[in-house]
Amino acid sequence: MAELKLTNVEKAYGEVKVLKNINLDIKTGELIVFVGPSGCGKSTLLRMIAGLERITGGDFSIDGVRMNDVPPAQRGIAMVFQSYALYPHMTVRDNMSFALKIAKKSQADIDAAVAKAARILQLEPYLDRLPKALSGGQRQRVAIGRSIVRDPKVYLFDEPLSNLDAALRVATRIEIAQLKESMPNSTMIYVTHDQVEAMTLASRIVVLAGGGISQVGSPLTLYERPQNEFVAQFIGSPAMNLLPGEVVETGSVTTVKLANGGMARSAVPTLAADKGLKVNIGVRPEDMVGTEGEAIFKGEVEITEALGEVTLLYFKRQGDAAQVVAKLPGIHADLRRKLVSLTAVPEKVHLFANGTSLLYR
């Protein structure tokens, strides 16, 4: 069991600050996922927690004990790397037991720990194989098992599935979810660039951007209640549509006249938006529906992508306008080159002013 606390944590390389004002409380038993664009510092933050990178400002503690200057081996942390980092000349059994042998554990304790991890990860048939005789998913399970045998306070995963093909990634993601279910008191921190991994595995997601934390919340909170335009467009695929407009009426709903000539109605509280306020309305592609009445957007479909359960509609850009995308259930390949009118219910229309949500501020 472990609770982690980061207070005003910073990381700088010389004069360049790559992370600043990182404040985060992680409770025992949570699976926290760090996401963000490439270069946002998510892996650097993970390595700071592990002790592989020096913290240049602020404090990091585990169970109330300051860890800034504690060596990695004494933090009670195990890390699973993207590259597996298995010893190629050792069997699965030897790879998993190596750290315990270095720690001079008894053979009985080592055998019991390896047997338990192998049972949890379904590796019992492979204990006497070398890594070269394993699939990518099996190798990743061995890397996870090597962490489990140490019985750490905290598990760290640094993009563990990125080297796997699509089918193995899905299978191993499910195995990690099952592993977490079997270890409910284990605290885990997971770094990924894959939204599906983040949405399906996380207790809470930490979105990093611009050297800091953009938003923290449960997966569905970030999806349904993004606090800013960055999170709104980063979470969800395809990204949320953003269209400029001006507030023209307030009341039980807020009415926005759009620059493209459309009208949008949003369930923003009356006091959150004033008439004349310049805003961006945000609508997720899956929340857009066809209409013959008042429309948020009208345009000619340039490209369709029929995925079976849904069809993606991509509309022609006008000038420098952002690409508009709609995701309709079913197959609609016949809509290519057709003029389509789209709207959304007020509860699904977000409003942003100066990049910040007016709905949930």
Mean pLDDT of the region 63-67: 95
Specify the CATH superfamily of domain 4-233: P-loop containing nucleotide triphosphate hydrolases (3.40.50.300)
Q: pLDDT grade, residue 91 (50/70/90)? A: very high
- pLDDT tens-digit map of 7-37: 999 999 998 999 999 999 999 999 999 999 9
pLDDT tens for each residue of 122-166: 899 999 999 999 988 888 889 888 888 888 889 999 988 887 777
One-character DSSP codes across 58-78: EEEEETTEE-TTS-GGGTTEE
Q: Which residues contact 114 (CB under 8 A, 6 or more apart)?
A: 93, 96, 97, 100, 127, 145, 149
Does residue 333 carry a pLDDT above 90? Answer: no
In whole angstroms, what is the distance from residue 215 CA to residue 209 CA? 9
Superfamily of domain 241-357: Nucleic acid-binding proteins (2.40.50.140)
The answer to whether residue 303 scores a pLDDT higher than 60 is: yes
- The domain spans of the chain are 4-233, 241-357
Q: At what angle do helices 136-148 and 92-102 cross, to 10 degrees?
A: 20
